[in-house]
Amino acid sequence: MSRLAILEYPDIRLRDQAVPVTDFGGALHELVDDMFETLRASRAIGLAAPQVGYNQRIVVVDASGTGNAPTLFINPRITARHLWAVIEESCLSVPGLEGRVKRCLRVTVEAQDRHGRPFTRHLEDMEAVVVQHELDHLEGVLFVDRLPLLRQLVWRWKNRHVAEPGRVSA
């Protein structure tokens, strides 16, 4: 296992829509193990494959923050959402920024495991929030996009010298 480099804003690869995993062979298992290692080494609670340069629908989550209870979601879909709340978030790919984002505290997720077997999980609280954050990464969405407009404008202005290629910087 090896620790993978984390892409950071404004890397354009963070804006790609990830593609579904169809090959559940050895290369996938190696990537998943490297993502677990990267999650643990970063002391993060979630990581999506596009953050480490792989444009695939893979997410790892460990809401315990210890790296000891990781969960893998391949081709995840949220099929139910309940209990909206405002949550303070940050992101490995957007260092130095925290912000309050609207998320649900109860979600149902359908996904596949590393062998392609489908499963359903009902998630609560931080685990539910992290999964929503990571699924956004699969769509090329960063949590900064979900901040109130004024906060986004201030942040983009502060980062105007590292403006995202192909995006209008306000």
- Contact set with Zn ion (CB under 5 A): 91
Q: Cβ of residue 117: shortest distance to Zn ion, in angstroms?
A: 26
Q: Cβ of residue 91: shortest distance to Zn ion, in angstroms?
A: 3
Q: Cβ of residue 88: shortest distance to Zn ion, in angstroms?
A: 13
123-153 burial, b at 16+ Cβ within 10 Å, e below that, comes to beebbbbbbbbbbbbbebebbbebbeeeeee
Residues known to be catalytic: 134
Closer CB to Zn ion, 28 or 47, in the complex: 47
Closer CB to Zn ion, 52 or 105, in the complex: 52
Inter-residue contact 110 to 123 (CB < 8 Å)? no
Closer CB to Zn ion, 90 or 116, in the complex: 90
Closest CA to 24 of 112, 111, 116, 110: 116
Closer CB to Zn ion, 116 or 151, in the complex: 151
Nearest residue to Zn ion, by Cβ distance, number only = 91
Angstrom CA distances, 42 to 36, 55, 64, 119, stand at 10, 20, 13, 27
Inter-residue contact 93 to 141 (CB < 8 Å)? no
Residue 52 φ then ψ, to 5°: -115, 20
Q: Cβ of residue 148: shortest distance to Zn ion, in angstroms?
A: 18
Closest CA to 110 of 64, 56, 59, 50: 59
